[in-house]
Amino acid sequence: MVARDANESRRPQPHLPQPNLPQQSSVGRRKFMQATAGGAAATFLATRLPNIVTAAEAPVAAVPESVVKKLYGTLSEAQRKAICFDWDYIDPSRGLLRTRVSANWNITDKTINSEFFTDEQRDMLREMFLGMIHPDWHARYDQQLDDDCGGFGEGQSIAIFGDPTAGKFELVLSGRHMTLRCDGNSADHVAFGGPIFYGHAPEQTEFKEHPGNVFWHQAVAANQVYEMLDGKQRDVALVANRPGESRVAFQGAEGKFPGIAIADLSADQKSHAQQVLEKLIEPFRQSDQDEVVACLKAQGGLDKCHLAFYSDGDLGEDKVWDNWRLEGPSFVWYFRGSPHVHVWVNIADSSQVELNA
């Protein structure tokens, strides 16, 4: 049973056509954001539910937790010995392995698309993955996987904690630019079953427009909030030096958060900050979106968060900030866009939850 981190590396992959992504225009990013920021709605409730998609509107998909239970039943004794762990298993070098998050790692050494798994098991893992991602994002996540590791299963590995047939359990999916979790609400207090990571590198060092990056639109939305700020607000929101990217532990209600308080924004600025949150959570299934909202509401909503932009690492030196962070007492969404996109997410309803990164 091996848990290992890998250095950030990327083997060359053919660049596939980008599905369902807006085309880059000849208009600069800054002009684009200035044009679109003015359309923000005038009303805002800090704790309202994001208007993403209702359960009735969403296509019917297999419940990922049910797929995990089915997968577990097909595992041989040798397979279980290699990828299954007790709920509170402590790895000698990684700590409480179930809670580990990293940018580029394998939680076990059994790659999905290897002889270790049967065809049926690989199909189940693919079905589980698709169930964890919002249907509108399947093509975009596949693009990320194609660019970063040659497709789903080529660089990913899994581990199962607990017993899916009796009691609490969690499956962790790991790989380059990926830490995702499927837990059926077994893990207490946390959204997504624990901290997650996503990212994309169409190029190892991207151009300032981040062409082809499936997550860059999230940063565009955040920068639109910055464009709405007046001079004094920008002075507060803009921070000189970004923290280490894995520094996403909770600070609690008494924490000293960088950037500008959402509570200090005007109504239209708050409304656009809410739209940023909606864009952040939209790639994920509805139940995970709902968990994020519930955790955020438990700590007082967006009004308890701060939004910071970092002036270092500005690709192209165009003052469209590639690195930014939305943070509250037990909410951290850290978007590191330079030299390519890394995003660290840690959300709970209590700041007492410890980070293992």
Say which residue, 2 or 298, is predicted with more confidence.
298
- Tell me what pLDDT residue 186 has: 87
Q: Residues 293-313: what's their mean pLDDT? A: 98
Q: What CA–CA distances, in Å, run from 8 to 13, 67, 168, 201? A: 15, 31, 33, 11
Does residue 26 carry a pLDDT above 50?
A: no
Q: Is residue 335 part of a domain?
A: no
- Tell me what pLDDT residue 61 has: 57
- Tell me what pLDDT residue 48 has: 42
Percent of the chain with pLDDT over 90: 81
Cα angle at 156 between 250 and 5, to 5 degrees? Answer: 55
Domain that holds residue 174: 64-199
pLDDT in tens, 109-130: 999 999 999 999 999 999 999 9
Q: Is residue 176 part of a domain?
A: yes
Does residue 7 carry a pLDDT above 80?
A: no
Q: Is residue 82 part of a domain?
A: yes
Q: Is residue 174 part of a domain?
A: yes
**Tokens for 158?**
């899994």
Q: Is residue 275 part of a domain?
A: no
Q: Is residue 127 part of a domain?
A: yes
Does residue 33 carry a pLDDT above 60?
A: no
If you count DSSP H runs as helices and E runs as strands, how many of each does the chain have, helices first? Answer: 9, 15
pLDDT in tens, 161-214: 999 999 899 999 999 999 999 998 889 999 999 999 999 999 999 999 999 999
Q: Lowest-confidence range among 1-15, 65-79, 81-95, 159-173?
A: 1-15
Q: Is residue 129 part of a domain?
A: yes
Backbone angles phi, psi at 73, to 5 degrees: -70, -20
Cβ contacts of 268 within 8 Å, gap of 6 or more:
40, 41, 42, 44, 228
Q: Residues 338-349: what's their mean pLDDT? A: 98
Q: How far apart are the first and last CA of the chain?
A: 19
Separation of CA 293 from chain center: 15
User: If pLDDT is split at 50, 70 and 90, which confidence band does 6 have?
Assistant: very low
- Tell me what pLDDT residue 351 has: 97
Structurally, the chain folds into a number of domains equal to 1
Q: Is residue 115 part of a domain?
A: yes
Backbone angles phi, psi at 96, to 5 degrees: -65, 95
Averaged pLDDT of the chain? 87
Does residue 215 carry a pLDDT above 60?
A: yes
Q: Residues 129-158: what's their mean pLDDT? A: 98
Q: Residues 130-139: what's their mean pLDDT? A: 98
User: If pLDDT is split at 50, 70 and 90, which confidence band does 303 have?
Assistant: very high
Does residue 50 carry a pLDDT above 90?
A: no
